[in-house]
Chains A and B, each alone.
Chain A
Amino acid sequence: MKSITRQKSLEEVEHQLEGLERVYIIGCGTCATMTRTGGREEVLDMKERLQEMGKMVTGWTVIPTACDDMTEASLNENTGFIQSADCILVMSCALGVQKVGSYISKPVIPALDTLFIGVEDGPGYFHEVCDQCGHCVLGYTAGICPITACHKGLLNGPCGGTNNGKCEVDKEKDCAWTLIYQRLNEQGRLDLMRKYQPVKNSQIVLRPRVTIIS
């Protein structure tokens, strides 16, 4: 599982840094390294870009996994450089941004946009696999998620826009319901597709979503 990110435009980064001259940069050694949006190389590149903007970079680090508890230790090691900065520019997904923000009172600024939770199918090709909908229906859909693989998140079969097995929104993308049909057919389980699927509960865990494991 990976948190898939994309770098914000430099214009937006600059806009967020308005009035903040001294910047400390944090990258992430896991997802953002894999997606080449916030690894060591990208952090060093950002350092140069910021310097071109006239910013002062007080230091930088790449935390092994920005969203986990080791982040605190990592920040403690670099306290001096962080203290002398006006803000922290975080080049990780939003989980890392918020984790860093929970330890530091200075402004924490995201350099990336978090797009989706996905897996890498081939080099550089990531696709979304789950939207954390709270009630998994993969058991009825031959393991293909109709929430994320179908543009409209349909539960009872294809829309009228499907064409030659492709999706209405993009001729390059497979229609999820053609895939589900084919795989259920191979498994001899088409009765599952004939079964009515009720409307999804949109309030399974109320936002803000919290759960306590006892």
Chain B
Amino acid sequence: MAQSFKEALNSGKFVVTSEIGPPKGTNIENMRHHIDILKDKVDAINVTDHQSSVMRFPSIGGCLEIKEHGGEPILQMTCRDRNQLALQAELLLAYTRGIRNVLCLTGDAVPVGDHKEAKGVFELDSVQLLRAIRQMESGKDMGGNDLDGSVEFCAGAIVTPEANPIEPQLIKFEKKIEAGAEFIQTQAIYDLDNFAKFMDYARQYPVKILAGIVLLVSARMAKYMNENVPGIFVPQHLIDEMAEAPKGEALNKGIEIAGRMIAELKKYSICDGVHIMAIGREEVVPDILAAAGIDNHNK
């Protein structure tokens, strides 16, 4: 692996990240397969942290696998399941194993997941977690005690450019940057004009922004997301385009749309890169990149 994610962010190139979801269980073959497909195609791979509050193999376990296979991992860390001690301990472990990137998230609510009676911790929020990382980098833990060996991370966070109302989101976005976020991966965006407006605002801050690209696999999925996923808005013309795809061609159409959006974001330098979420179809990420005209990204 040529470049660290931080180097890629600072190189001025159009950065590409993607993500994998660890398995529910100990069969990690499929996850390994996805790592093999992605590791040389993208600048870094996120590993989700019990996404949607569904208990799974841990994010750090997926990150270790990526490291072992020569890839660059981004450790997703939510505040849902761990208190101060547990979060910091995991950061120490991550650092000693060469994991250098952390995405700080609040985490989904427990009752949306598959352990509906479990306790949600949320002792920290994403802003406080970012600050905790910066404090640990200074050699002190959150209790103010000296660390015998500190950490250094490229820390990031997320934003939802389509949130309604947007103002409270933007205040939090600014707090994340003040807390030391170096990169931001956005929630899925589909309306590039809207996104360009968000970027006009976001450009004033010293942070790299990677636009979230979620692969559409059917018109139904697009409608479902519009109705059920906060902060996602798929414009009608894209839903129509998906619906008009010939039978059996919807996935290819989704790949084409994702590729087209990425190409446009890159061509007009709207943002600093993209974060591709293929949600279970990780094997088509190279096809999305090819459709975007980004064939030899890491070559």
Contacts and interface: CB of A to CB of B under 8 A. Distances in A.
Interface string B174-216: 1100110000000100000000000000000000000000000
B112 A169 contact: yes
Contacts of A163: 163-164, 230-231
Given A161-B230, A163-B230, A194-B174, A199 B108 contact: no
B106 interface: yes
Give the residue among A154, A165, A190 with the most B Cβ atoms within 10 A: A154
B108 to A, nearest CB: 7
B169 A168 contact: no
A193 B142 contact: no
Contacts of B132: 199
Contact of B175 (A156, A162, A164, A181): A156
Interface stretch (B18-26, B65-73, B91-99, B119-127): B119-127
Interface residues of B, number: 38
Nearest to A168: B109
Interface residues of A, number: 30
A157 B172 contact: yes
Interface string B103-129: 001111101100000001011111110
Interface string B263-299: 0000000000000000000000000000000000000
B248 to A, nearest CB: 33
B187 A160 contact: yes
Contacts, number: 94
Interface in B50-107: 80, 84, 105-107
A168 B108 contact: yes
A190 B171 contact: yes
A160 B231 contact: yes
B160 interface: yes
Contact of A164 (B131, B164, B187): B164
Nearest to B232: A163
A157 B175 contact: yes
B165 interface: yes
B144 interface: no
A61 B235 CA distance: 64
B271 to A, nearest CB: 18
A156 B84 contact: no
Contacts of A198: 128
Contacts of A65: none
B154 interface: no
B155 interface: no
A157 B169 CA distance: 7
B242 interface: no
Nearest to B84: A199
B29 interface: no
21 contacts: A152-B109, A152-B122, A156-B127, A156-B128, A157-B172, A158-B172, A159-B106, A160-B231, A161-B230, A163-B164, A163-B231, A164-B164, A165-B165, A169-B109, A180-B168, A193-B171, A196-B175, A196-B178, A199-B128, A199-B132, A199-B142
Interface of B: 80, 84, 105-109, 111-112, 120, 122-128, 131-132, 142, 158-160, 163-165, 167-169, 171-172, 174-175, 178-179, 187, 230-231
